[in-house]
Amino acid sequence: MNQLTHAPISVEALLGHVQSAERGGTCVFLGTVRKDDDVTGIEYSAYDEMAVAEITRMLDEARERWPEARVALQHRLGLVPLGEASIAIVAAAPHRDEAFAACRYVIEEVKKRLPTWKKELHADGSATWVDPSGHPIAGGLRDR
């Protein structure tokens, strides 16, 4: 499975990587492009090689913490329209506590560590890089 994809994400396909008869709890997190002001979509880009390496490290860490859980992740790149998923994380474990915990761990690490960037596209044809840190740099960035 490619963890970075330019195609729409298939949650069903991801679930196939983690579910089994022994794992009775499955947690799915989807991050979708939100309708904000005049945003018409988000263009995602990545440092592909490092992103894949980071995803591997995050999933290894989750497996160390919750050995019975299985977690899979896919991040979409390129233009993602409103309402479509830019990221999906699925976690399955024997019980729900581990599934929720592993899923939550991975999305929080993604937010801190995954080398990916969002450019918001606006109805007037302009585009704005998103800076979650709230520290604008030259050219002006939207605090998000």
Part of the chain binding other proteins (CB under 8 A), chosen from 12-20, 45-53, 62-70, 97-105: 45-53
In whole angstroms, what is the distance from residue 39 CA to residue 128 CA? Answer: 10
Smallest CA-to-CA distance from 4 within 67, 71, 77 is with: 77
Part of the chain binding other proteins (CB under 8 A), chosen from 16-24, 63-71, 90-98, 126-134: 126-134
CB distance 129 to 117 below 8 Å: yes
34 binds other proteins (CB under 8 A): no
Element containing residue 97 per DSSP (H, E): helix 96-113
Placement of tokens 């474990």 in the chain: 93
Comparing CB distances to other proteins, the nearer of 69 and 80 is: 80
Positions that interact with other proteins (CB under 8 A): 31, 44-47, 49-51, 53-54, 75, 86-87, 107, 110-119, 129-133, 135, 137-139, 141, 144
